[in-house]
Each structure stands twice: as structure tokens, then as C-alpha cells.
Amino acid sequence: MSRPQQHRHLKRKDSIRFLVFLAFSSIHLEQVYNVVDSRYRSQKPFIVTTNLTLEELQNPEDTAHSRIYDRLLEMCCPVFFTGENSL
């Protein structure tokens, strides 16, 4: 992405009404928590997709994940989808 495209994307970010996280790594856990917590405190909608099971969300591997998962489970209603990938 060129610099002008990046700049347009960053400007547009401020007007997003729905924020979607598709994945995150352990390196960015604090940043992810800050975004999740910010959405929670501002009462803005939040859509999360994950390949984790409900059991994995309810029993995180450590405190850093626990903070995120607890907040997500408090503010989101888990929906489980089954079926084959059509790709």
C-alpha cells in the first residue's frame, strides 16, 4: 500500500462504526486489549471472529489472554457456525 493509500485508510479509521478483528498474535495482546476495552467503554458494536472454541475462550492459557477473553465474553454473544469451507 502506498503512503497516500495508508493515509486515507488511517483517516477513514476514525469514522468506523464497526471494528472487526480477524486475528491477532501474542505480540500485540496489550494493543488488542486496549481496543477491546475501548469499544466496551464507549459501548460501540464489536464483531469478533475466531477459530477458538467456547471452552478455549472460557479457559485461557494465561492472564494476558484472560483479560481479552473475559471482556469479549462479557460484551459479545458467541455464535457457533458449523459446515465445510466452500473455498
Instruction: Please determine, for residue 40, whether its predicted confidence score (pLDDT) is greater than 60.
Output: yes
Provide the whole-model pTM.
Answer: 0.63
Closest Cα partner for 75 from 30, 26, 19?
19
- Cα–Cα distance, 71 to 40 (Å, whole number): 8
51-68 pLDDT, tens digit per residue, is 888 999 999 888 888 999
3-state secondary structure of 84: coil
How do the domains of the chain map onto residue ranges? 30-77
Predicted local confidence at residue 10, as pLDDT? 43
CA atoms within 13 A on the CB side of 78: 16
Predicted local confidence at residue 70, as pLDDT? 93
DSSP 8-state class, residue 26: G
- What cell does 76 get? 459479545
